[in-house]
Amino acid sequence: MSLLVVGSLALDTIETPFDRAEKTVGGSATFISIAASYFIRPVRLVGVVGGDFPKSELDYLQSREIDIEGLQIKSDGKTFHWHGRYHYDLNTRESIRTELNVFADFDPEIPVPFRKSKYVCLGNINPELQKEVYLQMEAPKLVVADTMNFWIEGKYDALIDVLKYINVLVINDSEARELSGEFNLFRAARKIQGFGPYVVVIKKGEHGALLFYESDIFFAPAYPLETIYDPTGAGDSFAGGFTGYLAKTDDLSYENMKRAVIYGSTIASFCVEKFSIDGIRSLTQFEIQDRFNEFKKFSDFQAIELEA
């Protein structure tokens, strides 16, 4: 099975209550493709970077068999830059600055062999670009997409338009409320399903994730971590692990999507333990499987009926 990932590649400035880092590697497509590469190879990556994006990081992506043939390198331009600030409640963050730079006039040209990819993960970018990508694909089996408040507020109509083509929308709780205009998450998910996606995954940070699959609902806890260092990329790592597992297994049943949610949550839990992409840079299959199994243990219990 083949997986195409399109989204941002970034140099981020991140502030948390514990640390601050300038020009760290980030971006939706970066996290998604690394996360997915633990399940399926090669991952086909399409995006754009400026001349300031470290060559060593491109080499690293290639070392994980991420195919960067579709990555445009604008050597005289600057890479997309996002400055985010987290407070003590690491579930909420402020976007201090978003500089599109080379993304401002990015024209996503999907290499011809990539257009046959059966699985597509459209990372968080301008929804108009997400649609342009979709229209170049030949017959994708599953299209997963992510978005964020920046686009809900700035490109609402384009986002509603592209949702018609999306099968799975992965979105966090505050964004689901903003997109749907509904405070209650169940109502929000139902409304978003009405826009197009038959599956909606609502991420609730350290409180887990909700999977709405047609009329079914599955709740997955988050892995209880003692140290959360930098939440940046958790949502994208989730999307990458989720889509990568589905592409590997090529099974879109409800039962398999539940497992995909847990694999996504597993990779996201590694991501937040370190800054930037460091938490997911070099995981082993054993570490991933072990944590996946622990997820089951944490929410497994024996039901005993009350005596009358």
The CA-atom distances, in angstroms, between 215 and each of 199, 207, 218 are 9, 22, 10
Sheet containing strand 209-213, edge to edge, reads 66-74, 43-50, 3-6, 119-122, 142-146, 168-172, 199-203, 209-213, 216-220
**Nearest approach, Cβ of residue 112 and ligand AMP (Å):** 26
Whole-number minimum distance, CB 12 to ligand AMP, in Å?
A: 5
Nearer to ligand AMP, 2 or 177 (CB): 177
For ligand AMP, the binding residues (CB under 6 A) are 8, 10, 12, 26-28, 31, 82, 98, 124-125, 148, 150, 232-236
Distance in Å, CB of 139 to ligand AMP, minimum: 27
Is 195 within 8 Å of 127 (Cβ atoms)? no
Nearest 5°: CA angle at 39, between 249 and 107? 100
Closest to ligand AMP by CB, 36 or 234 = 234
Please, where are the H alpha helices in the chain?
28-36, 55-63, 127-136, 149-154, 156-163, 173-180, 185-195, 234-249, 254-271, 285-299
For β-strands 80-86 and 93-99, DSSP reports them as antiparallel
Q: Which residue's CB is nearer to ligand AMP, number 2 or number 4? A: 4
CB of 25 to ligand AMP, least distance (A): 8
Which amino acid is present at 154?
A: G
CB of residue 81 vs ligand AMP: minimum separation in angstroms?
8
Q: Provide, rounded to whole angstroms, the least separation between the CB of residue 220 and ligand AMP.
A: 17
Our CB check for ligand AMP shows the closer of 2 and 71 to be 71
Return d(Cα 48, Cα 75) in angstroms, integer: 10
Residue whose CB is less far from ligand AMP, 91 or 98:
98
Q: Is 72 helix (H, G, I), strand (E, B) or coil?
A: strand
Alpha-carbon span 153 to 161, nearest angstrom: 14
Closest chain position to ligand AMP (CB): 26
Residue 118 C-beta: closest distance to ligand AMP, Å: 24
CB nearer to ligand AMP: pick between 10 and 211: 10
Q: Smallest distance from the beta carbon of 228 to ligand AMP, in angstroms?
A: 12
CB nearer to ligand AMP: pick between 12 and 15: 12
Sign of the four-CA dihedral 152, 163, 146, 8: negative
Looking at beta carbons only, is 172 or 193 nearer to ligand AMP?
172
Cα–Cα nearest to 241, from 34, 46, 44: 34
Kindly give the interhelix angle for 28-36 and 55-63, rounded to the nearest 10 degrees: 30
